[in-house]
């Protein structure tokens, strides 16, 4: 049972890092540091975006952006930390 919980925690860790990468890439694209016309940049951004967006799209229906600031990544990160804390408690 501890192995399954450990794997869930590590999967959430990977998802958390993908979420952080998605946020950073969106900033770099917005400030024109990354050129989306480059094929490899587009594929990388698209891959990370497709991995991260399903729960964020659901939350964006509930919580709209406030003044061009999207709070859904922070809410998803907070949720991941809560779930990981719960899972760490189950492991003890």
Q: Rounded CA gap, 83 and 8, in Å? A: 10
Q: Rounded CA gap, 61 and 65, in Å? A: 10
Taking residue 22's Cβ as centre, other Cβ atoms within 10 Å add up to: 19
* pLDDT tens-digit series, residues 33-63: 999 999 999 999 999 999 999 989 999 899 8
Q: Give the angle subtended at the CA of 29 by the CAs of 28 and 30, to the nearest 5°.
A: 90
Residue 11 confidence (pLDDT) above 90: yes
């Amino acid at each position: 049972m501890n192995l399954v919980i450990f794997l869930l925690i590590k999967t959430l860790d990977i998802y958390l890092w993908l979420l952080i990468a998605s946020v950073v890439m969106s900033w770099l694209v917005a400030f024109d540091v990354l050129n989306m016309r480059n094929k490899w940049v587009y594929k990388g951004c698209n891959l990370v975006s497709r991995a991260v967006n399903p729960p964020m799209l659901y939350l964006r229906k509930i919580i709209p952006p406030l003044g061009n600031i999207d709070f859904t990544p922070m809410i998803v990160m907070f949720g991941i930390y809560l779930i990981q804390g719960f899972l760490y408690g189950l492991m003890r």
